[in-house]
Chain A
């Protein structure tokens, strides 16, 4: 291996690592605020890529049907819970939120598809459509289980993963999609060639992470989510409702996954079920961060990306094995290093 190959592998690893980092951050965010181990994060990545691919082909993506279906289910859940609690007066407003907005996005998506909007608008529309599914998923599945144990939430997450994969096959079909590269340009620095594509992926990830950093560090809503993660009871006592925090969290997490779906589109062909493997790699990163630390999770995801790219050079048949075996020493290290917290579940 000479320098140029090493540089190429590193570049590849960092590019993939940046995408895994977004997923790792989404998984950490969801876990700290809602205690849900979010297995179905990968499906949101697949939906992101497949939605954008559909828009670029000029045909309505399966997201339209998916949004309509989720909106209908959310509407039924909302009517039932309002009825049970005798809060029918608030129902119209809630229906507007849970059914009206998703249906509006689905309508725009269906109408916009044949019009071949400019690329940035297609990306925005993709992000909006997939982000909307995050709160819908929370409203339908996790909000009614807000008081369940972490184990129950994990089991439910596995089920949701299978359901969403199935829905993905139903609405998007079995064919994979790949989106065109953002740019074919490349930069030469000595013996090393950087592709503009890789730089864009890394920069976009950094930009999104920066925006989230500002959101959590400076805005009241961002701080409210942090507060919920730090002290659930304290958060309720200042009036931050768990369902509010959960809805916002799942919107942000879905946005992160959709964004990584857009970024991964030109790198690899994405099928309805491709997201799972990618999200598992994000999950390894999140575990390195102990499911609580954002910087460690991002660094861990980067490590996963690098390890994957270098092992694909040396032992390509074992690349997944090597990546997932990483979790064993990490868990050992974490369990030895962890000072035991009092059990609060």
Chain B
């Protein structure tokens, strides 16, 4: 498991033999993966493979067995809030926004863990620079936003916590192709600014284009892994996930 480890730098996230089950039904079996500092790693796979479960377990929303180390420290026993405090932030598939509160309130609450460090206004300016649409909509209630705007708000809210590792669950789900492209451009620019990203996507083509490394998850198990470019050329991946020349299927 050292395919992406560069120059002996410890990875930012190490997951070893992670198991999650819903009651007696296993959802993840012995999943092992890692995310190197400043890299984008993607997990692709079909519906029901356990991708969302994987991110929820890493974020701490679900109990899991196995080893979970983040930023070099074990986090398996710490609650969600403590992981957010350390810079491990999840943008869930359902967005989980505060629907009856304004856009700016949603964003300011994103910086809740950093309330004693100050700098929330600077972070807010950063987010507005990245998502000018959110600045236009700042006074509007989150529940009245369009799908794309909601995804931007979810991303913006996560960025307010100044994450070091961002977990993105299906950021392109249900969005128009134009907005999907925009979201992936933002992922690339986040990576350029040093944020590591673990990206779960059904849009395998776009995910593999933006990622450095990839894993293929099927029925709760990791069946394939490799550099993103290598995975894009793998016949099994092409057959199952890339199809023939369908660009940006949303």
Binding site for B on A (CB under 8 A): 85-86, 220, 223-224, 226-227, 230-231, 233-241, 244
- CB–CB B89/A237 < 8 A: yes
Specify which chain B residues have a CB less than 8 angstroms from the CB of A244 in the assembled complex.
81
A223 and B109 form a contact (CB under 8 A): yes
Given contacts A220-B109, A224-B109, A224-B112, contact A237 B98 (CB under 8 A): no
Does B205 reach chain A (CB closer than 8 Å)?
no
Chain B contacts for A234, CB-based, 8 A: 96-98
In the complex, A244 Cα to B108 Cα: how many Å? Answer: 18
How far is A220 from B158 in the complex, measured between Cα atoms in Å?
17
User: Bound complex: CA of A231 vs CA of B106, how far in Å?
Assistant: 11
Residues of B near any A CB (own CB < 8 A): 59, 61, 77, 79-81, 84-85, 89-90, 92, 96-101, 105, 108-110, 112-113, 115, 157-158, 160-161
Are A238 and B84 in touch, CB under 8 angstroms?
Answer: yes
- B99 contact set on A, CB distance < 8 A: 230-231
Q: How far is the CA of A239 from the CA of B108 in the complex (A)?
A: 12
A selection of 7 A-B contacts at a CB cut-off of 8 Å is A220-B112, A231-B97, A236-B80, A238-B109, A239-B84, A240-B112, A241-B79
A220 near B115 with CB under 8 A, answer yes
- Could you list 15 further interchain pairs (A-B, Cβ under 8 angstroms) beyond the known A85-B77, A238-B161, A244-B81? A86-B77, A223-B101, A223-B109, A226-B98, A233-B61, A233-B92, A234-B97, A236-B80, A237-B59, A237-B84, A238-B113, A238-B160, A239-B81, A239-B161, A241-B81
Residues in B neighbouring A235, C-beta threshold 8 A: 98, 109
Contact between B61 and A227 (Cβ–Cβ < 8 Å)?
no
Please state if A231 and B96 are interface contacts (CB–CB under 8 Å): yes
Provide the residues of chain A in CB contact with B108, threshold 8 Å. 220, 223
User: Which residues on the A side are within 8 Å of B89 (C-beta)?
Assistant: 237
Q: Across the interface, which residues of B come within 8 angstroms of A239, CB to CB?
A: 80-81, 84-85, 112-113, 161
Nearest Cβ in chain B — how far from A176, in angstroms? 43
CB distance from A345 to the nearest CB of B (A): 17
Contact partner of A236 among B77, B81, B98, B158, CB < 8 A? B81
In whole Å, how far is B121's beta carbon from the nearest beta carbon of chain A?
12
Question: Quick one: which of A85, A223, A227, A240 contacts B81, CB cutoff 8 A?
Answer: A240
| Complex CA–CA separation, A238 to B79 (angstroms) | 12
Is the Cβ of B96 less than 8 Å from the Cβ of A233? Answer: yes
With A85-B77, A233-B61, A233-B96 as contacts: A238 and B112 at CB distance below 8 Å: yes
Q: Which of A86, A233, A240, A241 contacts B109 (CB 8 A)?
A: A240
CB pair B109 A237 closer than 8 Å: no
- Report how far A227 CA is from B100 CA in the complex, Å: 9
- CB of A238 within 8 A of CB of B157, answer yes
- Pick from A220, A231, A244 the residue with the most CB of B within 10 Å: A231
Q: Give the most central of A236, A238, A244: most B CB within 10 Å.
A: A238
The one of A85, A224, A237 in contact with B80, judged by C-beta atoms closer than 8 angstroms, is A237
Q: How far is the CB of B85 from chain A (nearest CB, A)?
A: 6
Are A227 and B109 interface neighbours, CB within 8 A? Answer: yes
Shortest distance between the CB of A125 and any CB in chain B (Å): 30
Kindly list chain A residues whose C-beta atoms are within 8 Å of the C-beta of B90: 237
Chain A residues within 8 Å of B61, by CB: 233, 236
Contacts of A85 in B (CB 8 A): 77
Give Cα A224–Cα B113 distance, bound, in whole angstroms. Answer: 11
List the 5 closest A-B pairs by CB distance, nearest first. A239-B113, A234-B96, A239-B84, A241-B81, A236-B80
Q: Nearest chain B CB to A132's CB is how many angstroms away?
A: 24
B84 and chain A: residue at smallest CB distance: A239
Neighbouring B residues of A233 by C-beta, 8 Å: 61, 92, 96
In the complex, the answer to whether B101 meets A226 with C-beta atoms within 8 Å is yes
Q: How far does the alpha carbon of A234 sit from the alpha carbon of B93 in the complex, in Å?
A: 11
Contacts of A237 in B (CB 8 A): 59, 80, 84, 89-90, 92, 96, 158
Set of chain A residues within 8 Å of B77, measured between Cβ atoms: 85-86
